[in-house]
């Protein structure tokens, strides 16, 4: 059996995954659950599981950030709403990936992969006695490869069969809607991106773009007005065609105050 920890900030997602895994009582022993990467980091280091099911986009600390800080590296199955741009990296550097919503048929394939992996590597473990570090190098290489570079001047978006390069200076803001993230230009155009908000926050130059909530990143050079809101939040009005208004998240207020010396 694999001693297993489930790490996801969505309670419904954890409940669903636990229910699905309940079919495989001879394969998984769930020894812990965590609601964000920071909790997951603590649990993994303390309980030292054989396997974790890991979401990527989480508050406090993303799944990638959590993996990069581990000193004990278990096997990893990603359970995420990440788009297909990352799937190749998942296939090459983890046991498996599961796109939400997870279905029994897809989870069955993961179980078979785990059993095959276990059979193929048991002899290696007995010889090397080093199970916890077997996947460490590959996972860290994946994290490093997916770390966005900040020396960019544009964001690529797909429209039909074309790929457009949108200059950063023409971008008003980014907004997340469910699992999708859209780029909004100053002239009011809206494009679907292949990034999450957290990846964009790393990718975009910090001297020009600022994450103001879990759903929004704004071009600070294109802000028209900042108005104090309730509970330490701010209403931000942009210079785009629609004069878009966004409310900052409570945990982002200090960053806004520091940047604009409010």
Which pLDDT belongs to residue 232? 86
In angstroms, what CA-CA distances link 226 with 204, 230, 256? Answer: 21, 13, 10
In sequence order, the 6+-apart residues with CB closer than 8 A to the CB of 172 are: 184, 185, 186, 218, 219, 222, 238, 239, 240, 244
Q: What is the mean pLDDT of residues 220-240?
A: 94
For 167-220, how does the pLDDT look when each residue is reduced to its tens digit (9 = 90+)? 999 999 999 988 899 999 999 999 999 888 888 988 898 889 999 999 999 999
Q: How confident is the model at residue 127 (pLDDT cuts 50, 70, 90)?
A: very low
Say if residue 79 is preceded by a cis peptide, omega within 30 of 0: no
Residue 83 pLDDT exceeds 60: no
Q: From CA 241, how far away is CA 239, in angstroms rounded? A: 7
Which pLDDT belongs to residue 185? 98
Q: Are strands 96-99 and 75-80 parallel, antiparallel or unpaired?
A: parallel
Nearest to 117 by CA among 77, 144, 80, 66: 77
Nearest to 38 by CA among 61, 63, 72: 61
Mean predicted lDDT score pLDDT of the chain: 84
Q: How confident is the model at residue 133 (pLDDT cuts 50, 70, 90)?
A: very low
Place of tokens 């022993």: 29
Nearest to 177 by CA among 162, 190, 163, 164: 190
Residue 223 pLDDT exceeds 50: yes
Residue 231 pLDDT exceeds 60: yes
Reduced to 3 states, what is the DSSP secondary structure of residue 17? Answer: helix
Q: Are 112 and 89 in contact (CB under 8 A)?
A: no
Q: From CA 21, how far away is CA 107, in angstroms rounded? A: 8
Q: What is the mean pLDDT of residues 143-157?
A: 68
**Residue with the larger pLDDT of the pair 94 and 241:** 241
Residue 10 pLDDT exceeds 70: yes
Reduced to 3 states, what is the DSSP secondary structure of residue 195? Answer: coil
Largest Cα–Cα separation, the chain? 65
Which pLDDT belongs to residue 132? 41
Can you give 117-178 as a three-state secondary structure string?
A: HHHHHHHHHHHHCCHHHCCHHHHHHHHHHHCCCCCCCEEEEEECCEEEEEEHHHEEEEEEEC
Q: From CA 207, how far away is CA 220, in angstroms rounded? A: 8
**For a pLDDT cut of 70, what percent of the chain falls above it?**
83
Q: Are 5 and 33 in contact (CB under 8 A)?
A: yes
Sheet with 234-238: list strands edge to edge. Answer: 223-228, 234-238, 245-247
């Amino acid at each position: 059996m694999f001693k297993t920890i489930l790490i996801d900030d969505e309670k419904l997602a954890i409940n669903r995954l636990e229910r699905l895994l309940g079919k495989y009582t001879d394969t998984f022993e769930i020894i812990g659950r965590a609601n964000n990467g920071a909790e997951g980091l603590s649990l993994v280091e303390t309980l030292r599981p054989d396997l974790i099911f890991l979401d990527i986009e989480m508050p406090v600390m993303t799944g990638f950030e959590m993996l990069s800080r581990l000193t004990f590296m278990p096997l990893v199955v990603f359970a995420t709403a990440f788009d297909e741009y990352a799937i190749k990296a998942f296939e090459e550097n983890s046991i498996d990936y599961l796109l939400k919503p997870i279905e029994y048929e897809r989870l069955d394939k993961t179980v078979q992969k785990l059993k095959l992996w276990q059979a193929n590597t048991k002899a290696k473990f007995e010889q090397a006695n080093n199970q916890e570090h077997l996947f460490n190098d590959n996972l860290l290489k994946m994290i490093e490869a997916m770390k966005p570079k900040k020396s960019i001047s544009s964001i690529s978006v797909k429209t039909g069969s074309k790929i457009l390069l949108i200059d950063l200076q023409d971008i008003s803001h980014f907004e997340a809607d469910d699992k999708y993230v859209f780029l909004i230009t100053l002239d009011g155009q809206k494009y679907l991106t292949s990034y999450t908000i957290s990846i964009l926050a790393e990718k975009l130059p910090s001297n020009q773009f600022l994450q103001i909530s879990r759903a929004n990143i704004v071009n600070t050079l294109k802000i028209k007005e900042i108005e104090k809101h309730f509970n330490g939040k701010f209403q931000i009005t942009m210079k785009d065609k629609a004069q878009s208004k966004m409310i900052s998240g409570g945990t982002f207020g200090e960053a806004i105050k520091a940047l604009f010396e409010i």
